């Protein structure tokens, strides 16, 4: 192969007239195309200067146009849609809960127009749509009051900051957890200005441990859901009722950070209603874990406490935007009007083995028809998002074999839409539990395409 020289590079004006580049002008603004084209040429020039082996095919107008198009991708490459074939329902890296179609539409409508976000239509004065969320949440959980913020980390922080800054918060050593994405209870407490008063031991904490720790400086007892881990063996944890009673006797608050927060029974998770009924003054939870809504943090509990949170200056920095409010309200409405099965994350978590096996068979049929050899496999899915860590969800899917599974998986990931499964041993596994209704044809096509390219 003869080495390319600088003068072999096509001139910009010639490229601009080439058919492949012409086509880019139809899709992108001229200035952006020229800019990207210049970058591609500058790169090639640098490589030639360095003495790199640049194949002649790399400077063909079609190749340069292709590279230019790749660089222009940034204009369109927002969040790429992913078909989740991991079997992990609340996959934090993939955006946790998928919204119900009507909740996604509600968010889009709120985003694309004006709404009564902070407007009372009757009086024509300032109002708040948080009132509407509060009444929906009240119906679903029995909470007298509620406030929604951007995420549960913010909810925990706001509560501690407002009620325990400069004073002590008592917490069991067994509950100083770290949640994915580096949310660590001790760090959040420190940042909030509350002094961490750890009690008990890693595996066992008793009521008397809390009792002995309560003093003049105590602001609250905090109980944190262990979320992503379970303790087994010689363990003891104090029940919420007992802590609520102790807090009341001692004149301090009892706060419970539930993390996932299930509105309906799921696995061995206590429902939010049950936790509130057991006497917590304030409960905090996520909107996009077991609730199945948008990213949000929800504080539920006593009216005068929630009112204080609403007045806190910090709340302003944490208040959710209109699209979140619209999506959350619609998700809650679905629970009340149509039941939890209308919420995709809940439907996935509760899908039966029979349903999943039928869906996996159908995927296998589509793949085989497209020339992709694969087998039906029994799998174990998970809730994810730090929820129900001990509960494995018996699931079904298809397994692909082959030489270069990593290569195949990468091709799937970088495709449009992207497909994410998992590799176990010598197999690429696609779990159908987390594949949304209507995505199966696309999934089969994407796999067939990647399989053919990888062959
Ligand atoms: C997940 C979780 C959080 C953080 O919630 P985000 O909504 O992710 O901010 C806090 N506490 C517990 C116990 C959790 O499980």
Per-residue pLDDT of the chain (455 residues; tens, 9 = 90+): 456 778 888 888 889 888 888 889 988 999 999 999 999 999 999 999 998 888 888 888 888 998 898 888 878 778 899 999 999 999 999 999 999 999 999 999 999 999 999 999 999 999 888 999 999 999 999 999 999 999 999 999 999 999 999 999 999 999 999 987 678 999 999 999 999 999 999 999 999 999 999 999 999 999 999 888 888 899 999 999 999 999 999 999 999 999 999 999 998 899 999 999 999 999 999 999 999 999 999 999 999 999 999 999 999 999 999 999 999 999 999 999 999 999 999 999 999 999 999 999 999 999 999 999 999 999 998 898 888 887 889 999 999 998 899 999 999 998 889 999 999 999 999 999 999 999 999 999 999 999 988 77
Residue 312 tokens read as: 């806190």
Domain final position from 325, 340, 355: 340
CA of 376 to the centre of ligand 1 (A): 35
The whole domain housing 329 covers 101-340
Residue 188 CB–ligand 1 contact under 6 Å? no
**Residues 153 and 218 placed together within one structural domain of the fold:** yes
Q: Assign residue 356 the CATH number of its domain.
A: 3.90.1150.110
**Residues 164 and 276 placed together within one structural domain of the fold:** yes
pTM of the model: 0.90
Residue nearest to atom 1 of ligand 1 (CA): 259
| Closest among 17, 387, 35, 42 to 228, alpha carbons compared | 387
Domain final position from 293, 310, 340: 340
Residue nearest to atom 6 of ligand 1 (CA): 152
Domain final position from 340, 358, 389: 340
Cα→Cα distances 66→62, 72, 76, Å: 6, 10, 15
**Residues 181 and 319 placed together within one structural domain of the fold:** yes
Q: Strand 282-286 relative to strand 168-172: parallel, antiparallel, unpaired? A: unpaired
**Residues 321 and 391 placed together within one structural domain of the fold:** no
- What is the number of the ligand 1 atom nearest to the C-alpha of 257? 13
Cα gap 61→67, rounded to integer Å? 10
From the number of C-beta atoms within 10 Å of its C-beta (0-12, 13-18, 19+), residue 349 rates as buried
**Residues 144 and 269 placed together within one structural domain of the fold:** yes
**Residues 220 and 107 placed together within one structural domain of the fold:** yes
Residue 224 CB–ligand 1 contact under 6 Å? yes
Cα gap 131→298, rounded to integer Å? 13
**Residues 206 and 253 placed together within one structural domain of the fold:** yes
**Residues 105 and 30 placed together within one structural domain of the fold:** no
Residue nearest to atom 5 of ligand 1 (CA): 152
Say how many domains are in the chain: 3
- What is the number of the ligand 1 atom nearest to the C-alpha of 153? 9
CA of 229 to the centre of ligand 1 (A): 13
Residue 157 CB–ligand 1 contact under 6 Å? no
- What is the number of the ligand 1 atom nearest to the C-alpha of 177? 13
**Residues 409 and 429 placed together within one structural domain of the fold:** yes
């Amino acid at each position: 192969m003869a080495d390319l020289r600088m003068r072999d590079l096509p001139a910009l004006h010639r490229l601009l007239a080439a058919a492949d580049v012409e086509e880019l002008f139809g899709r992108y603004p001229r200035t952006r195309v020229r800019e990207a084209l210049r970058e591609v040429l500058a790169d090639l020039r640098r490589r030639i200067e360095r003495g790199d082996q640049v194949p002649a095919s790399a400077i063909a107008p079609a190749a340069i146009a292709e590279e230019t198009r790749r660089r222009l991708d940034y204009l369109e490459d927002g969040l790429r849609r992913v078909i989740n074939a991991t079997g992990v329902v609340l996959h934090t890296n993939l955006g946790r809960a998928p919204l119900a179609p009507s909740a996604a539409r509600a968010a889009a409508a709120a985003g694309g127009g004006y709404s009564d976000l902070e407007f009372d239509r009757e009086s024509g004065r300032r109002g708040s749509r948080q009132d509407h969320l509060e009444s929906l949440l009240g119906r679903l959980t029995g909470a007298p009051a509620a406030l929604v913020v951007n995420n549960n980390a913010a909810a925990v922080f706001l509560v501690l900051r407002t009620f325990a800054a400069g004073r002590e918060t008592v917490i069991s050593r067994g509950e100083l957890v770290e949640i994915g994405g580096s949310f660590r209870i001790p760090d959040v407490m420190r940042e909030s200005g509350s002094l961490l008063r750890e009690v008990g031991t890693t595996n066992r904490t008793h009521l008397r441990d809390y009792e002995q720790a309560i003093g003049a400086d105590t602001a609250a007892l905090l109980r944190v859901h262990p979320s992503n881990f379970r303790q087994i063996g010689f363990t003891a944890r104090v029940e919420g009722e007992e802590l609520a009673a102790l807090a009341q006797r001692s004149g301090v608050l009892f706060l419970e950070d539930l993390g996932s927060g299930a509105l309906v029974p799921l696995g061995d998770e206590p429902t939010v209603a049950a936790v509130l009924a057991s006497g917590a003054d304030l409960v905090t939870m996520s909107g996009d874990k077991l609730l199945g809504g948008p990213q949000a943090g929800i504080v539920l509990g006593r009216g005068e406490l929630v009112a204080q949170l609403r007045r806190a200056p910090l709340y302003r920095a944490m208040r959710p935007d209109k699209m979140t409010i619209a999506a959350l309200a619609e998700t809650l409405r679905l629970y009340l009007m149509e039941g939890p099965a209308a919420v995709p994350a809940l439907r996935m978590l509760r899908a039966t083995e029979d349903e999943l096996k039928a869906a996996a068979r159908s995927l296998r049929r589509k793949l085989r028809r497209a020339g992709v050899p694969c087998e039906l496999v029994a799998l174990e899915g998970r809730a994810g998002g730090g929820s129900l860590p001990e509960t494995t969800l018996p699931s079904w899917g298809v397994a692909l074999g082959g030489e270069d599974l990593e290569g195949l998986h990468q091709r799937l990931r970088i495709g449009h839409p992207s497909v994410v499964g998992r590799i176990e041993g010598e197999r690429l596994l696609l779990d159908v539990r987390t594949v949304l209704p209507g995505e199966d044809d696309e999934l089969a096509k994407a796999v067939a395409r990647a399989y053919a390219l990888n062959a």
